[in-house]
Amino acid sequence: MPRLDAARDWARRIKRDVVAVWYAARDPRTPWPVRLLALAIAAYALSPIDLIPDFVPVLGYLDDLLIVPAGLLLVIRLLPEPVLAASRAKAAAALERPRSWAAAALIVLLWVLCAAAAGWWLWARGAA
């Protein structure tokens, strides 16, 4: 499955570059117009709100497949090489950090407890 492997590799590079662009936008060596563009592209890429909602057939994934990579490419070409290299190194390190399953379980437990407390409160109000 060489195509699937190539697609996964492309997606990993895009993910790394989104984080790298975010770091580059915060780097003082980045010129301010590039910094603004980098912030806009990173914010758009990381935002759950899309220009074209994903439920719109075909066009919904247009931004994910074209707009974000094109914006990343533009920002990457405008960034000074030392800033890009440092930002990519930071991004790679940030993405390789181990994830804590215990912390995830704790957060899920807190949400379940909050939902249970809200349910109990609503039930108690309805019974009174």
- Give the pLDDT score at 2: 80
How many domains in the chain?
2
71, 110: one domain:
no
Q: Among 12-21, 24-33, 56-65, 88-97, which stretch is predicted with the lowest mean pLDDT?
A: 56-65
60, 80: one domain:
yes
44, 57: one domain:
yes
pLDDT tens digit sequence for 79-93 = 999 999 999 999 988
Range of the domain at 122: 102-128
112, 82: one domain:
no
Phi-psi region of 58 (alpha: psi -120 to 50; beta: other; left: phi over 0): left
- Give the pLDDT score at 98: 66
50, 106: one domain:
no
Q: Of 9, 11, 22, whose CA–CA distance to 91 is shortest?
A: 22
109, 58: one domain:
no
pTM for the structure as a whole: 0.66
- Mean pLDDT within 32-60: 82
Q: Among 69-73, 75-79, 100-104, which stretch is predicted with the lowest mean pLDDT?
A: 100-104
- Mean pLDDT within 105-119: 91
- CA distances (Å), origin 91, targets 2, 28, 52, 63, 97: 26, 17, 27, 22, 10
- Give the pLDDT score at 128: 56
